[in-house]
Amino acid sequence: MSWRVTAPGRVNLIGEHTDYNGLPVLPIAIDRGIRVDFRVVDDPVVRLDSPSSHFAPFAFQLKRPIEAAARGDWSNYVRAASRGLLEHGVRLERGIKGTVTGDVPIASGLSSSSALVVASALALLKANELTLPLLRLAALMARAERFVGLEGGGMDQAACLHGVAGHALRIAFDPLRVKPVRVPEGWRWVVASSLVRAEKSARARDAYNERARQCREALEEVRDAVGVERTPYQASSYRGLVSAGDLDGLLRHARRVLAPVLFRRFRHVVTEGRRVALAEQAMSDGDLHRFGDLMVQSHESLRDDYEVSTPELDELVTLAREAGAAGARLTGAGFGGCAVALCDDGTVARVMEALAARFYEPRLGGPPRGDMMFAAKPSGGAGVQEM
User: Which of 33, 98, 102, 332: binder of ligand GLA (CB under 6 A)?
Assistant: 332
Q: Is 374 in the site for ligand GLA (CB under 6 A)?
A: no
Q: From the candidates 19, 31, 37, 156, which is the catalytic residue?
A: 156
Identify which range of 9-17, 176-184, 188-196, 264-272 contacts ligand GLA by CB under 6 A. Answer: 9-17
Identify which range of 12-20, 72-80, 83-91, 227-235 contacts ligand GLA by CB under 6 A. Answer: 12-20
CA angle 4–165–269, rounded 5-degree value:
105
- On whether the CB atoms of residues 111 and 337 are closer than 8 A, the answer is no
Asked if 156 is an active-site residue, the reply is yes
- Nearest distance from C-beta of residue 14 to ligand GLA, angstroms: 10
Distance CA(156)–CA(28), nearest Å, equals: 10
Beta bridge partners of 7: 34
Residue type, 28: I
User: Which of 24, 84, 105, 153: binder of ligand GLA (CB under 6 A)?
Assistant: 153
Distance CA(313)–CA(195), nearest Å, equals: 9
Q: Is 19 in the site for ligand GLA (CB under 6 A)?
A: yes
- On whether the CB atoms of residues 8 and 30 are closer than 8 A, the answer is yes
Q: Which is nearer to ligand GLA, 8 or 332 (CB)?
A: 332
Beta bridge partners of 61: 45
Q: Is 156 in the site for ligand GLA (CB under 6 A)?
A: yes
Q: Is 152 in the site for ligand GLA (CB under 6 A)?
A: yes
Q: Is 305 in the site for ligand GLA (CB under 6 A)?
A: no
- Beta strand ranges found along the chain (DSSP E): 2-14, 26-41, 45-49, 58-61, 95-102, 167-172, 177-182, 187-193, 327-331, 338-344, 373-376, 383-386
- Nearest distance from C-beta of residue 308 to ligand GLA, angstroms: 8
Distance CA(292)–CA(283), nearest Å, equals: 10
Beta bridge partners of 25: 171
- Nearest distance from C-beta of residue 18 to ligand GLA, angstroms: 7
User: Which of 333, 338, 354, 372: binder of ligand GLA (CB under 6 A)?
Assistant: 333
DSSP H or E segment with residue 160: helix 155-162
Beta bridge partners of 300: none
Distance CA(306)–CA(319), nearest Å, equals: 22
Q: How many residues form the binding site for ligand GLA (CB under 6 A)? A: 12
Q: Which is nearer to ligand GLA, 9 or 378 (CB)?
A: 9
- On whether the CB atoms of residues 282 and 291 are closer than 8 A, the answer is yes
- Nearest distance from C-beta of residue 16 to ligand GLA, angstroms: 4
Q: Is 16 in the site for ligand GLA (CB under 6 A)?
A: yes
- Nearest distance from C-beta of residue 337 to ligand GLA, angstroms: 9
What is the DSSP code (8-state) at residue 369?
Answer: P
Contact track, ligand GLA, 107-146, x by CB under 6 A: ----x-----------------------------------
Q: Is 351 in the site for ligand GLA (CB under 6 A)?
A: no
- On whether the CB atoms of residues 257 and 225 are closer than 8 A, the answer is yes
Q: Which residues contact ligand GLA (rule: CB under 6 A)?
A: 12, 16-17, 19-20, 111, 152-153, 155-156, 332-333
